[in-house]
Amino acid sequence: MNTRRIALAVCGLTVGHARKARARALVDDLSFEVAEGEMLAFVGESGSGKSLTAAAIFGLLPFGLRRLAGSVHLRDTELTALSERALRVRRGRDMGLVFQNPLTALNPSRSVQAQIAETYQVHKGGTRGAAWARARSLLAEVGLASAANGPETYPHQLSGGMRQRVMIAIALACDPILLIADEPTTALDVVVQAQILDLLTRLRQERGLAVLFITHDLALAAARADRVLVLYAGRAVEEGDAARFFRAPCHPYSRALRDAIPAIHGLGGRLTEIPGLPPGPGALPPGCRFAPRCPSAQDDCHQTEPTMRRTAPRCACLHPSLETP
């Protein structure tokens, strides 16, 4: 894996309110890398900062939020140093974004072919005809033969899964380095979910695409991704190889997440839930952020904020479980 080139390197990324200095950072000192052909899964509850990280990489943070620190490298380009205009050129060309809800992420009044072709033409220029030919071949690649060969197709004529394929086709229009899939299957039913994930897996293998897969579903992450990064309240709490991670999570939060997954074969055993709620905006407990909900919290957890371990298994916990699988 180390021989592959690093596609995306995020270092010390911190996102917070633009005007309120005292409010806490929503993404706090986050660092990670994704190599070409690799799929990194971002796991966390809603509000943990997963989607904000994606928005920060794209430079499209919601109004009122700002990147306060950190850098984002896409291959050799420092994205945070680019002007808005230069960054716009990268969006859609070097990095694609797939949204959670394919029902709303496509413009309802323009055909899907036109929306793909537009993306291609904006970045690559060329004739309209060439862009449309490109759109049709992309639609074929993501498995939408009818739209690839048939007449203009509008989003309302497609099912949710098919629309998500269109979103992926748009993201791939200019052969990007990186694809960020933000909960791409959450709005879809299980069978379609598997199909979309198969498609993503195939594409990253065929094209050497780096994929950042954002999900709240740990089982999905473990099954599909090469590596997993767990976020809690804006901070990375554990990072590691997906197989190892699922067998032996070392952070209590990761363990709790794993134990909350209903196993298909596990007839015995109760599902465990995580007591309490993640910290709201503003109020952060001193010490470890997870300590108030942690079943194995000790006194020092409430005072000292843990840092990420430098050696595997990498996690941010004062009392990690380091059992070898």
The contact set with other proteins (CB under 8 A) reads 17, 20, 23, 58, 60, 63, 88-93, 96-97, 99, 101, 104-110, 118-119, 122-123, 154, 156, 167, 170-171, 173, 281-283
- Cβ proximity to other proteins, 88 vs 319, nearer residue: 88
Least Å distance between CB 177 and other proteins? 14
Least Å distance between CB 288 and other proteins? 22
- Cβ proximity to other proteins, 101 vs 321, nearer residue: 101
Beta bridge partners of 214: 42, 182
Reported for 76-84, long-range contacts at CB under 8 A and 24+ positions apart, including other chains, are 84/59
C-alpha dist (Å) from residue 23 to 20, 59, 68? 6, 21, 12
Least Å distance between CB 128 and other proteins? 14
Bond into 313 cis (ω within 30): yes
- Cβ proximity to other proteins, 167 vs 242, nearer residue: 167
| H runs (alpha helix) in 158-251 | 160-172, 190-207, 218-224, 242-247
Least Å distance between CB 323 and other proteins? 40
Least Å distance between CB 91 and other proteins? 4
C-alpha dist (Å) from residue 292 to 184, 244, 301? 31, 27, 9
- Cβ proximity to other proteins, 125 vs 325, nearer residue: 125
C-alpha dist (Å) from residue 48 to 20, 145, 146, 287, 315? 19, 38, 39, 17, 16
- Cβ proximity to other proteins, 89 vs 260, nearer residue: 89
